Amino acid sequence: MTTETIPLELSADHRTAMHEIYRHLHSHPELSMQETETADFILKALTDLGIEAYLCGGTGVVGVLRNGEGPVVGFRADTDGLPMLEDTGLDFASRARGTLADGTDVPVMHGCGHDTHITAALTAARLLTEGTETWAGTVVFIFQPGEETAAGAKAMVEDGIWDKAPKPEVIYGQHVWPGLAGTVNISRGTAMAMADSWKITVQGRQAHGSQPDQSIDPIVLGAHMVVRIQTIVAREVHPMKSAVVTIGTFHAGLKENIIPDTAEFSVNVRTFDPEVREVVLGSLRRIIKAEADASGAPAPAIEEISSFPQCYNDPDTTDALIKEFHLTLGEGSVNEVPPVMGSEDFGLFATAIGVPSVYWMFGAYAQERLDADTPLPGNHSPYFAPDLEPTLTTGVRAAMTAILSKVAR
């Protein structure tokens, strides 16, 4: 592949259309696994380009672009928004609302930048359909719902994505992040952490506050669990290994003079190493059970909220892609970085069929904003608003570079 054979340049018409797509998607986010309007928008965009497209995994969309004999490449973009109120001040800011699984009405925002991912993938699809003379093979576009909940990739795999679509020899994916627009960050090997989230319901015995001897206090019991859990990383994980254990919520009781019968807290675990993951999760179960036993309480209920697989960049495939990024984005625009503790379910698409995958980040903010004294909002902030350019163009160029590294003539 050479830069002369790659249709990477975006015309003024391309950019106008791309910005319109982005503004529409940003204004119309939907919650995880509820992305019905988003799926309809993507289906129409793909079919208007003459690309075979269909639903998969509920609100996921698969687009299959065939252009003769040649390699098969997968490219994934996630599509869900977050339950948060946008406060960016943009004239196209989201005013959307959604309903959580428990019936709660919430505001919805593309606070993680998935709208940029969809936009880049749809624009890349357009460029590929307009430049068929430069490449040969098949590109499978995966528009995945429910990334925020780790439900979407699993749903698409279980719905038989690889029984319906051609199996790729490699799968690529990308994510916007609050770095320098025009650059990409990429890791060899482990790129992102595994993540496990649990809800623990501590069982106690209710009593009046004046009769604590009649109770099994789930708040005190839960507090002991929370404190003891904090020793796992400090005392049970090897010093040269990494793990993060976070207690994100703790709820109990309705009145100050009533000892409740239950308490509930949630825990999030992030690890890079599968063996460390087993150590931490095993220790969690042991501590939760042992503290309950020590208080004479019934066994707590442990419910899995989500489980993100490891996001692993095949080293050889990554090395090859880095070389191509240097050609198309420029030597100074490619940063080789260590893995991050964030999590992704992207890797499940590749591991399901035993092929390599590569995942990278592209920056969201222009240099002048990074140079300012004001801290810039990151992903999952109500203020997160990537600069349209060169952010979107970089996302398109990176996507095209990866795809065409395999299928260019």
pTM (2 d.p.): 0.93
CA nearest to 59, candidates 13, 118, 113, 116: 118
Supply the pLDDT for residue 5. 47
389's CB contacts (< 8 A; 6+ apart) are 15, 181
CA nearest to 111, candidates 126, 98, 124: 98
Work out the pLDDT band at 6, boundaries 50, 70, 90: low
Work out the pLDDT band at 267, boundaries 50, 70, 90: very high
Q: Nearest-5° angle of CA 67, CA 70, CA 72?
A: 85
Find tokens 């004999």 and name the residue: 69
pLDDT mean over 344-372: 96
CA nearest to 139, candidates 154, 124, 153, 152: 124
CA nearest to 310, candidates 337, 285, 341: 341
Structure tokens at 250: 């703790």
What Rg do the C-alpha atoms of the chain give, in angstroms?
23
DSSP 44-92: HHHHHTT-EEEEETTTEEEEEEEESSS-EEEEEEE---BSS---S--TT
CA nearest to 79, candidates 151, 14, 18, 170: 151
Cα distances (Å, whole numbers) of residue 132 to 44, 123, 283: 20, 14, 55
Q: Are 358 and 172 in contact (CB under 8 A)?
A: yes
* 178-191 pLDDT per residue, tens: 999 999 999 999 99
Domains and CATH numbers, the chain: 3-187+337-407 (3.40.630.10), 193-307 (3.30.70.360)
Structure tokens at 285: 């179960």
In residues, how long is the chain? 409
* 27-73 pLDDT per residue, tens: 999 999 999 999 999 999 999 999 999 999 999 999 999 999 999 99
Higher pLDDT, 275 or 1: 275
Supply the pLDDT for residue 178. 96
Supply the pLDDT for residue 372. 86
Supply the pLDDT for residue 392. 98
* 286-311 pLDDT per residue, tens: 999 999 999 999 999 999 999 999 99
Cα distances (Å, whole numbers) of residue 409 to 134, 141, 327: 6, 20, 17
Give the Cα separation of 190 and 338 in Å (integer).
8
* 159-210 pLDDT per residue, tens: 999 999 999 999 999 999 999 999 999 999 999 999 999 999 999 999 999 9
274's CB contacts (< 8 A; 6+ apart) are 194, 310
196's CB contacts (< 8 A; 6+ apart) are 268, 269, 277, 281, 304, 306, 307, 308
**% of the chain exceeding 90 in pLDDT:** 95
